[in-house]
Amino acid sequence: MSLAISDALLAGRRVGLRAKEGVIVELGPNVTPRPEDATLDAAGAIVVPGLINGHTHAAMTLFRGYGDDLPLMQWLEEKIWPVERRLEPEDVYWGTRLACLEMVRTGTVRFWDMYWHPEAAARAVHDAGLRATVAAPLIDVDGRTKAMRAAALSSLDELAGAGERIEAGLAPHAIYTVSEDSLRWIAELAAERGLPVQIHLSETEQEVDDCLAAHRLRPAHYLDRAGLLSPHTVLSHGVWLDESELELIAARGAVLVTNPVANLKLAVGRIFPYPAARAAGIQVGLGTDGPGSNNSLDMFADMKLFALLQKHAARDSAAVDAAETWEIATGRRAPQLGAPRSLELGQPADFLLLRAGAPELSFGELPAALVYAASGAVVQSTVVAGRVLMRDGHVDGAEEVLARALERARHLGLAAPIGFPQNNPALA
């Protein structure tokens, strides 16, 4: 399979590009498509790398708008958990397909997923053409240690044949839902099999207080004692980390993924200390978190919010600039999230074409345009591994994906799709 694109703008230069077997094989002013190439006419569109969503629970598209604006524990206990107990693989498959559709449309090419029935999520990612690291949430409170370990192992078996764009991982849910003994077991299993590990860390102040009370250690130190801070660890949130923890994380080479929208929406009370993380030398990525607690998968929106919040928190409009924000959102500041190093020969052919005529992209410096003015709507075409997943706004099979996801939401008894009981007078 080969693909040729022509007449695109890459970092200010007019270029063509050929991809073969998922990799960029030609790049320059004069690239002539060959008869065997699929083609994609860029017509002055801007080529940029794709976005990397460092933390989500993709299938939760189905839960979107279900119990919003409730306090966190009430949302989980009354809304989410009862439904999750009834989840079937097909729910996860179509929920993840829908998430993939939205990601393709808004320019995400790779994501880190933590959700139930990961084999179904992996199948969805494969069918959608994206890349992902996929893992089941591991929880062993209430003495479910044996069942959890068995489930972890069997999910790895099931993920073994998921295909080359999918990486299997391990995802201990959090330090407060997995025993220290199991954290150690996970660390050993990950080391043994060379697997990445994702975990929620230091999302709430309560988590820090409880960890200190139980272990006399702050969360990152506790995680390190369990052997789980390594260059293969991706930590989500990190809102309440202190300087000593940031230094430790930097020393261990772990990645920190910040999820600004979810942090605000769930009102965790603090803004991710990015300047300190940067000063410590930590690899930082950006995530949307699950569509149940965001509720969008449009990374353009979240990168803008990331930059805005950091300016606000630092009380300095120059605290983080657009180019740096763009690097974070494209995974360039956290190589272990698996982004291509850059758009160059021999690298994976993962990239976006952005609309040439979008007013939001037509003025001033491109990084500022991308971060502050654009939304995902500027993405015209999305290419992953040399395959065109969206061509000029069109994604094959989009209608079926939405219809099937709606069926699964109905099957789960979730709030009726709109058009039903929407008699809110605010809407007229």
- Residues within window 254-313 making contact with a second copy, judged by CB under 8 A: 261, 263-267, 269, 271, 291, 294-296, 298, 301, 304-305, 308-309, 311-312
Distance, CA of 333 to CA of 331 (rounded, Å): 5
Distance, CA of 70 to CA of 342 (rounded, Å): 42
Residue type at 337? L
Is the dihedral angle over the CA atoms 277, 282, 288, 293 positive or is it negative? negative
Among 86-94, 108-116, 143-151, 356-364, which window interacts with a second copy (CB under 8 A)?
356-364
Residue 255 · residue 54 · CB < 8 Å: yes
Nearer to a second copy, 63 or 116 (CB): 63
Phi, psi of 317, rounded to the nearest 5 degrees: -65, -10
Upstream peptide bond of 259 is cis (omega within 30 degrees of 0): no
Residue 394 gets which letter from DSSP? B
Task: Looking at residues 42 to 81 of the shown chain, list those that interact with a second copy (rule: CB under 8 A).
Answer: 44, 46, 48-49, 61-66, 68-72, 75
Tokens of 44: 């002055």
Task: Looking at residues 96 to 125 of the shown chain, list those that interact with a second copy (rule: CB under 8 A).
Answer: 98, 101-102
Task: Looking at residues 197 to 216 of the shown chain, list those that interact with a second copy (rule: CB under 8 A).
Answer: none
Which string of x and - marks every residue 222-261 that binds a second copy (by CB under 8 A)? ---------------------------------------x
Residue 100 · residue 125 · CB < 8 Å: yes
Residue type at 26? E
The least CB distance from residue 232 to a second copy, in Å, is 25
Nearer to a second copy, 99 or 195 (CB): 99
Among 198, 259, 330, 380, binds a second copy (CB under 8 A): 330
Residue type at 197? V
Among 18, 117, 332, 355, binds a second copy (CB under 8 A): 332
Among 43, 372, 387, 391, binds a second copy (CB under 8 A): 372
The least CB distance from residue 57 to a second copy, in Å, is 15
Burial label for 311, CB within 10 Å (0-12, 13-18, 19+), is: middle
Nearest to 343 by CA among 3, 6, 17: 17
Nearer to a second copy, 227 or 275 (CB): 275
Tokens of 69: 């604006």
Tokens of 23: 């990799």
Nearer to a second copy, 133 or 263 (CB): 263
The least CB distance from residue 155 to a second copy, in Å, is 26
The least CB distance from residue 28 to a second copy, in Å, is 13
Task: Looking at residues 393 to 412 of the shown chain, list those that interact with a second copy (rule: CB under 8 A).
Answer: 398-399, 402, 405-406, 409
Distance, CA of 71 to CA of 90 (rounded, Å): 29
Among 319, 335, 387, 411, binds a second copy (CB under 8 A): 319
189 lies in the site for a second copy, by CB under 8 A = no
User: What residues contact residue 179 under an 8 Å CB cut-off, 6+ apart?
Assistant: 140, 141, 145
